[in-house]
A and B are shown apart, each in its own frame.
Chain A
Amino acid sequence: DIQMTQSPSSLSASVGDRVTITCRAGQGIGIDLGWYQQKPGKAPKRLIYAASSLQSGVPSRFSGSGSGTEFTLTISSLQPEDFATYYCLQHNSYPQSFGQGTKLEIK
């Protein structure tokens, strides 16, 4: 099974800040990684697929990068609606696996 290690687990930031979240895979997964945003009481929403491709309709302040074992999600300028929990997901092999999540809070 592939373990996904996501960091940090929580992050305090202000509107306008640039933030980066990292996911490390226990073995190489190519670019078989997605990033999801989840708000309380809602199903997750995909932001990024194939490690760096922006899902249609997602603001361009979100970007993803990486391949192999190390991946990042960057929000270039935080907006109030971005405060949520973020998860990475590897879908290179079964069982698919999520990172532990990063809760992004307002400073």
Chain B
Amino acid sequence: QVQLVQSGAEVKRPGASVKVSCKTSGYTFTTYFMHWVRQAPGQGLQWMGIIDPASGTTYYAQTFLGRVTLTTDTSTSTVYMGLSSLGSEDSAVYYCVRDLAAAGDLWGPGTLVTVSS
């Protein structure tokens, strides 16, 4: 069964960093790109970036450049999204999405990150 399992909710202080995991199963990990999309409370969807698990190549949205890092662990078929220098505006649900908009489009359940002092 194809699954994306994301790590649990996080509460962080302003200025801190967070690392959200997305563990995959049921398919060949290196076959599909993984995207990250976030959604602030009551707001729309925002594309953050993409990683090719086969090569490690990444592309980040300009908005997050310098603060976001996508990595993979091929031994556990897991993708990680790290976001640094958190502010209140980073409070959101973060989704990993396999092969967004393509044939293999599959969304994780989301991880709520709350930034609060």
**Contact flags A36-50 to B (C-beta < 8 A → 1, else 0):** 101000011110010
Evaluate contact between A98 and B45: CB separation under 8 angstroms.
yes
Evaluate contact between B50 and A94: CB separation under 8 angstroms.
yes
How many chain B residues touch A (Cβ–Cβ < 8 Å)? 21
Q: List 21 A-B contacts (CB under 8 A).
A: A34-B101, A36-B45, A43-B95, A43-B107, A44-B45, A44-B107, A46-B105, A49-B101, A49-B102, A87-B45, A89-B100, A91-B100, A94-B59, A95-B61, A96-B35, A96-B100, A98-B44, A98-B45, A99-B44, A100-B44, A101-B45
Evaluate contact between B46 and A98: CB separation under 8 angstroms.
yes
What is B's interface to A at a CB cutoff of 8 Å?
Answer: 35, 37, 44-47, 49-50, 59, 61-62, 95, 100-103, 105, 107-110
| Number of A-B pairs, beta carbon distance below 8 Å | 51
Q: How far is the CA of A32 from the CA of B50 in the complex (A)?
A: 17
**Interface membership of A3, Cβ < 8 A:** no
How many chain A residues touch B (Cβ–Cβ < 8 Å)? 21
